[in-house]
A and B are shown apart, each in its own frame.
Chain A
Amino acid sequence: MKRPARLLAVVPALWLAAFVLVPALIVLKISLSAAATAQPPYLPVLDWSAGPVGWSSFLEALDFTNFETLLGDALYRDAALQSLWLAGLATLILALIGTPLAHAMARSPKRWQPLLVALVIVPFWTSFLIRTYAWIAILKPEGLLSAVLLRLGLIDRPLEILGTQAAVLVGLTYAYLPFMVLPLYAVMVRLDPSLREAAADLGASPIRVFWSVTLPLARPGLAAGALLCFVPMVGEFIIPDLLGGSDTLMLGRVLWSEFFSNRDWPLASAVAILMLALVVVPLVLLRESGTSDRDTVR
């Protein structure tokens, strides 16, 4: 029974090799090429038909100029730092909002829980673009938030939030909240209630019970949620593009403009490699936590 089941992996494995592994290697290769006004717009091109000669001339022509540009130019350095900073800060905010929310879901009556989970999942399935767009109407100076605050007399002139880092943070928090809440909830709902009861019987206040029993036990969920949010946020394009200003440089946006506006494919590839280097540690951690999670469930 095991051998034929193994063979089922062949087709998906070939697919993944062709459309995940090989493309990643191509990105690496092109990040070491020079830009050229040609089609495709980079040099050198590996000439398979020339055999070993082609290989050696290809290797000789590789150059690291793109990475020198990336590391030397303040623009790219700032973009990398800003991506890490915004993604990190948003992850922190998400943990602070997501933990009580997941906790409240896990402690709500059992018959409500499927509905609550579905209510958190619907936005997760709803278009990212639309959910980000919704915030433009709210945050722009002549938008809803300004209008409400003006009417209440809390501010005396329209808010200038849209186009700032604050708007990007709001957008990131909003878009990624389900990614934080769902893994946290999945862990919290499985916690043995007798542990909490024991702590409470021994005189711990609800806050103390949460802080010294629930939260430590929920750490795998918190870690998985944080990584699931942080990694894609580092490379986020839509949110900084629509809600951020021209000074909100995140790596995803830099890669996009190098590719689509400047048509510098090698530099865009180098940005991709840099981004990968920044997220590879969290990615490995995520994979580890994923496997250990499954072991605890089993």
Chain B
Amino acid sequence: MSHFGRITLGLGLAFLYGPILVLVAFSFNASALVTVWGGFSTRWYGVLFADGALLAAALVSLRVALAAAALATLFGTLAALALDRGGRFPGRSAFAGLLYVPMVMPEVITGLALLLLFVGTGLERGLVTLVVAHATLGLGFIAVIVGARLKGLDHTLEEAAADLGAGPLRVFATVTLPLIAPAVAAGFLLAFTLSLDDLVIASFAAGPGATTLPMRLYSQVRLGVNPEINAASTLLVGGVTLIVLGASWLSACGGIRSDVGTG
């Protein structure tokens, strides 16, 4: 690799990680000031874990993210299967288009639209509406991830199973599902983090009844830099890093397994 390439990579990664590392470093700063290093301390983590409102919001976020990711994974996988295996059915392109919409639409629009639906139908806003909103947000991402995996699949494996007398359900359960499982799991993790991270759509969909972690953090962040938020951010960044490592490990497994399958 050229010098120029190496310098570009270094600068790019420094730009991507610098601000995050600054946050992490200052979460261990004994002083509350950004420009003063008061020595290493974990006191802000103590403050964090004594903050009942923040912990309650984190719990709400986790519950919503789990439920929304599960729903999105189910529907997204169904959508990917229908698009990959269904041939050219009527309404196919409209269906594929609708899948794209929540992925690229500005979040304020998605949030406002869902809120107006919930109010219009008289649905009480709270955990359920949050789950519905976040499942809708994640669905398309999962359809894309699982769809990519389905496309790369060797169809002769399924045909072989069918030739040997397995019914369609049996083929799906014993051949297709194990092959796409890594993509399904990676999609679940992405939908989970999307839900965990979302502020804008949640602010519209949650109503006064439920406060998620990003909503709670946002109300504090608006007041300025706060070392307790640095500590919370550090924990979140650490958690997300673990999830990404898990997801890339899963897709690496999938790659190896499909190599074994095709070779």
Chain A residues packing against B (C-beta within 8 Å): 1-2, 4-9, 11-13, 15-24, 26-27, 30, 40, 97, 100-101, 103-105, 107-109, 114, 116-123, 125-131, 133-138, 140, 142-144, 147, 174, 177-178, 181, 206, 227-228, 231-232, 234-238, 241-242, 251-252, 255-256, 259-260, 265, 268-269, 272, 275-276, 279, 283, 286-287, 290, 298
Q: Is the CB of B106 within 8 A of A232?
A: yes
Q: How far is the CA of A13 from the CA of B83 in the complex (A)?
A: 11
Q: Which residues of B contact A236 (CB under 8 A)?
A: 106
Residue of A nearest to B81 (CB): A8
Q: How far is the CA of A5 from the CA of B79 in the complex (A)?
A: 10
- Tell me how many residues of B have a C-beta within 8 Å of chain A: 88
Q: How far is the CA of A17 from the CA of B185 in the complex (A)?
A: 26
Q: Which residues of B contact A121 (CB under 8 A)?
A: 244, 248
User: Which one of B42-50, B52-60, B114-122 contacts A?
Assistant: B114-122
Q: Is the CB of A235 within 8 A of B12?
A: no
Confirm or deny: B187 has a beta carbon within 8 angstroms of a beta carbon on chain A. no
Q: How far is the CA of A231 from the CA of B23 in the complex (A)?
A: 29
Q: Is the CB of B91 within 8 A of A13?
A: yes
Expressed in whole angstroms, the minimum distance between the Cβ of A93 and any Cβ of chain B is 12
Given contacts A9-B78, A104-B8, contact A255 B1 (CB under 8 A): no
Q: Which residues of A contact B17 (CB under 8 A)?
A: 119, 123
Q: Is the CB of A27 within 8 A of B19?
A: no
Q: Which of B12, B22, B75, B114 contacts A138 (CB 8 A)?
A: B22
Q: How far is the CA of A119 from the CA of B196 in the complex (A)?
A: 20
6 A-B contact pairs sorted by A residue (CB < 8 Å): A4-B168, A103-B5, A127-B196, A241-B222, A251-B108, A255-B112
Contacts A19-B114, A130-B20, A287-B97 known; 15 new A-B pairs at CB < 8 A: A8-B78, A9-B83, A19-B136, A40-B119, A129-B218, A134-B20, A134-B233, A138-B19, A143-B35, A144-B34, A178-B16, A232-B106, A238-B218, A241-B222, A252-B200
Q: Is the CB of A127 within 8 A of B16?
A: no
Expressed in whole angstroms, the minimum distance between the Cβ of A254 and any Cβ of chain B is 9
Map CB proximity to A onto B4-38 as digits: 1 under 8 Å, 0 otherwise.
11101100110111011011001000000111000
Given contacts A104-B1, A121-B244, contact A12 B9 (CB under 8 A): no
Q: Which of A100, A228, A242 contacts B8 (CB 8 A)?
A: A100
Q: Is the CB of A235 within 8 A of B20?
A: no
Q: How far is the CA of A9 from the CA of B92 in the complex (A)?
A: 9
| Interface residue SS majority, chain B | helix
Q: How far is the CA of A231 from the CA of B100 in the complex (A)?
A: 13
Q: How far is the CA of A255 from the CA of B15 in the complex (A)?
A: 31
Q: Is the CB of A130 within 8 A of B106?
A: no
Q: Is the CB of B85 within 8 A of A134?
A: no
B33, B97, B106: most-surrounded residue (chain A CB, <10 A): B106
The A-B contact count (CB < 8 A) is 266
Q: How far is the CA of A177 from the CA of B116 in the complex (A)?
A: 32
Q: How far is the CA of A138 from the CA of B190 in the complex (A)?
A: 29
Residue of B nearest to A101 (CB): B12
Q: How far is the CA of A78 from the CA of B82 in the complex (A)?
A: 44
Given contacts A15-B136, A20-B101, A133-B229, contact A9 B108 (CB under 8 A): no
Expressed in whole angstroms, the minimum distance between the Cβ of A39 and any Cβ of chain B is 9
Given contacts A5-B82, A20-B102, contact A130 B23 (CB under 8 A): yes
Q: Is the CB of B244 within 8 A of A1?
A: no
Q: How far is the CA of A104 from the CA of B97 in the complex (A)?
A: 33
Confirm or deny: B161 has a beta carbon within 8 angstroms of a beta carbon on chain A. no
Confirm or deny: B160 has a beta carbon within 8 angstroms of a beta carbon on chain A. no
Q: How far is the CA of A40 from the CA of B120 in the complex (A)?
A: 8
Chain B residues packing against A (C-beta within 8 Å): 1-2, 4-6, 8-9, 12-13, 15-17, 19-20, 22-23, 26, 33-35, 75-76, 78-79, 81-87, 89, 91, 95, 97-102, 104-109, 112-114, 116-117, 119-120, 132-133, 135-136, 139, 143, 151, 168, 190, 193, 196-197, 199-200, 203-204, 214, 217-218, 221-222, 224-225, 229-230, 233, 236-237, 240-241, 243-245, 248, 252
B78, B91, B112: most-surrounded residue (chain A CB, <10 A): B112
Q: Which residues of A contact B26 (CB under 8 A)?
A: 137
Q: How far is the CA of A122 from the CA of B81 in the complex (A)?
A: 28
Q: Which residues of A contact B113 (CB under 8 A)?
A: 20, 23-24, 26-27, 272
Given contacts A8-B81, A24-B113, A236-B106, contact A206 B2 (CB under 8 A): yes
Q: Is the CB of A12 within 8 A of B76?
A: yes
Residue of B nearest to A286 (CB): B104
User: 6 closest Cβ contacts across the A-B interface?
Assistant: A235-B106, A23-B113, A9-B82, A5-B85, A134-B19, A6-B86
Q: Is the CB of A122 within 8 A of B244?
A: yes
Q: Is the CB of A235 within 8 A of B98?
A: no
Q: How far is the CA of A250 from the CA of B119 in the complex (A)?
A: 26
Q: Which residues of A contact B15 (CB under 8 A)?
A: 97, 174, 177
Q: Is the CB of B116 within 8 A of A133?
A: no
Q: Which of B1, B87, B225, B229 contacts A107 (CB 8 A)?
A: B1
Q: Is the CB of B23 within 8 A of A129?
A: no
